[in-house]
A and B are shown apart, each in its own frame.
Chain A
Amino acid sequence: KQEVTQIPAALSVPEGENLVLNCSFTDSAIYNLQWFRQDPGKGLTSLLLIQSSQREQTSGRLNASLDKSSGRSTLYIAASQPGDSATYLCAGRLQGGSEKLVFGKGTKLTVNP
């Protein structure tokens, strides 16, 4: 059974700092991994999707990496801004064509001006 863990549960940083959010998964037979952000009172916004054959994906100030052998993914946020404050969730999809995403509990990020 795939389990996804995110550490830390909460993170507070000053504006401008570069930061890394961590996601680990127990089953290395992962098909892809997706990072989302969730703002209070809102749904999830997809940030990046990494296929199992890829090692990283970049979008603007965000860079996500995937290491299947170690069961880890990281989301790197460069030059953080107060608008980046949100809860960040990672979700893995198992190989075999299953559409089911398994989510971590998320990391609540606060970027202080």
Chain B
Amino acid sequence: SAVISQKPSRDICQRGTSLTIQCQVDSQVTMMFWYRQQPGQSLTLIATANQGSEATYESGFVIDKFPISRPNLTFSTLTVSNMSPEDSSIYLCSVEDWRRQRETQYFGPGTRLLVL
């Protein structure tokens, strides 16, 4: 399976600040995804990030709040901007690697964010 790392693994941030989360994959992948898992809730897709194009955001998520970069096929960042306590969540990076196992999605360890 694809090996995915995320930085930071956890952080505590103040209201109004921004945090950038990094996602690194051990191989080149076409599609990368960013999810949010709020306490007691299921995973919700924030956006899909393809290299060389603008990220595609799901309903309820906007680029100004969650800007995403995808500079190459192994790396992506998600920024949580102007944070509020409601942004406290686990943020997960995911990839789909058709060369390894068709249509299986692999996930990083997640970034636990607490906003005070």
The main secondary structure of chain B at its interface with chain A is strand
Q: How far is the CB of B78 from chain A (nearest CB, A)?
A: 15
A-side contacts of B79, CB under 8 Å: none
A89 to B109, CA, bound (A): 15
Any A CB within 8 A of the CB of B75: no
Interface residues on B, range: 20 to 34
Instruction: Let me know if A43 and B107 touch, CB within 8 A.
Output: yes
Interchain CB contact (< 8 A) of A105 among B31, B42, B94, B109: B42
A101 to B107, CA, bound (A): 12
Q: How far is the CB of A13 from chain B (nearest CB, A)?
A: 22
Given known contacts A99-B96, A101-B105, is B43 in contact with A42 (CB within 8 Å)? no
CB 8 Å contact bits of B1-33 with A (1 = contact, 0 = none)? 100101000000000000000000000000101
B-side contacts of A100, CB under 8 Å: 45, 48, 58
Residue of A nearest to B111 (CB): A43
Q: Which of A41-71 contact B (CB under 8 A)?
A: 41-46, 49, 51
Q: How far is the CB of A47 from chain B (nearest CB, A)?
A: 10
A-side contacts of B96, CB under 8 Å: 99
Q: How far is the CB of B56 from chain A (nearest CB, A)?
A: 10
Residue of B nearest to A49 (CB): B104
Instruction: Let me know if B105 and A43 touch, CB within 8 A.
Output: no
B-side contacts of A89, CB under 8 Å: 42-43
Closest 6 CB pairs of A and B: A44-B107, A43-B107, A103-B42, A43-B109, A103-B43, A105-B42
